[in-house]
Chains A and B, each alone.
Chain A
Amino acid sequence: MKARVIVTLKSAVLDPQGKAIEGALRSLGVAGVQSVRQGKVFDVELAGNDKAAAEGVLKEACDKLLANTIIETYRVEFAE
């Protein structure tokens, strides 16, 4: 089973990298971009096909390592 874990900064946390990217897009003349926040994507392959079990595994992975929950939040998407 394949899953994608998306880790993003909490909205209250300043994201200087996102701001810099936002500024770069503006200077490239890409119109209509109001703001950019940068995050991380982890594509994970899981043993077995039990979605509930996989959700448990990924929650553990996020809480233990993939996200620093002081500043980040995460969500999981399952690919078909």
Chain B
Amino acid sequence: MKSALVVFPGTNRERDAERALTLVAGAKVTKVWHSETELPSQTDLVVLAGGFSYGDYLRCGAIAARANVMAAVQAHAKRGGLVLGICNGFQILCEAGMLPGVLVRNAKLRFVCREVRLRVERADTPFTRAYRKGEVLRIPVAHGEGNYTADEETIREIESEGRVAFRYARPDGEIDETDGPNGAINGIAGIYSETHNVLGMMPHPENYIEPAIGPTDGRGLFESLSSAFKAA
């Protein structure tokens, strides 16, 4: 699998993403600077890593979403190529209009940096095949603006089309919006594009891949990506 890792000024989680992509997914990773107008040829997966692109100026992800490279990322997604946006990457995908809705300030106004439980909503996408539907994962979050929201019609659409990837859950898998880290509507932690080839998520699966550091529940996402390309 060939992966392009897009880097904007202020992106700071690209090394963690690179480690997970190489270590778990066995991917060949090329870093792509935001001013590029093309992705490396035969890119299978584009990753937008976490951080604070452009210092979160204006709105989180707003300026990065308009960078040169994003036209190439959009074209890649239109061709059916896979795109994964983590944390600030999710915010960028929303600002770019590649995913619906927006991530606003956490309901309790605090930056939240802790482990959460995520329920896997479906296990039949290239990002989640190594998990089981309904499985509850331990994954960390670290964000101040992760409160997912959209208008009612959009939420209805996302829900009815099975486009919620992960929800903040209790250890038993129950969803409790008021108990989530950021107040996101319906406990939404990650969503897919219409064709399920673009995934944006606030939590950081790339943080939980090595037993020396802690739980390894994040490995499944990168294993899924790896097998998606072995099968192809």
Residues of A within 8 A of B (CB): 13-14, 16-17, 20, 64-66, 68, 70-71
Given contacts A65-B66, A68-B62, contact A16 B105 (CB under 8 A): yes
Q: Which residue of A lies closest to B63 (CB)?
A: A65
Main DSSP-derived SS at the A contact region: helix
B62 neighbours in A (Cβ, 8 Å):
65, 68
- With A16-B109, A70-B102, A71-B102 given, can you name 18 additional A-B contacts, CB distance below 8 Å? A13-B104, A13-B149, A16-B105, A16-B106, A16-B107, A16-B108, A17-B105, A20-B109, A64-B66, A65-B58, A66-B58, A68-B59, A68-B62, A68-B95, A70-B101, A70-B150, A70-B151, A71-B149
Q: Mask for B92-117, Cβ within 8 A of A = 1, else 0? A: 00010000011011111100000000
B101 neighbours in A (Cβ, 8 Å):
70
Residues of B within 8 A of A (CB): 58-59, 62-63, 66, 95, 101-102, 104-109, 149-151
Instruction: Provide the bound-state CA to CA distance between A68 and B107, in Å.
Output: 19
Instruction: State whether B102 touches A68 (Cβ < 8 A).
Output: yes
Given contacts A16-B109, A20-B109, A64-B66, contact A71 B104 (CB under 8 A): yes
Instruction: Provide the bound-state CA to CA distance between A13 and B148, in Å.
Output: 12
Main DSSP-derived SS at the B contact region: loop
The 10 closest A-B pairs by CB, nearest first: A70-B102, A16-B109, A71-B102, A16-B105, A20-B109, A16-B107, A68-B102, A68-B59, A17-B105, A65-B66
- 26 residue pairs of the A-B complex, CB under 8 angstroms, read A13-B104, A13-B149, A14-B104, A14-B107, A16-B105, A16-B107, A16-B108, A16-B109, A17-B105, A17-B109, A20-B109, A65-B58, A65-B62, A65-B63, A66-B58, A68-B59, A68-B62, A68-B95, A68-B102, A70-B101, A70-B102, A70-B150, A70-B151, A71-B102, A71-B104, A71-B149
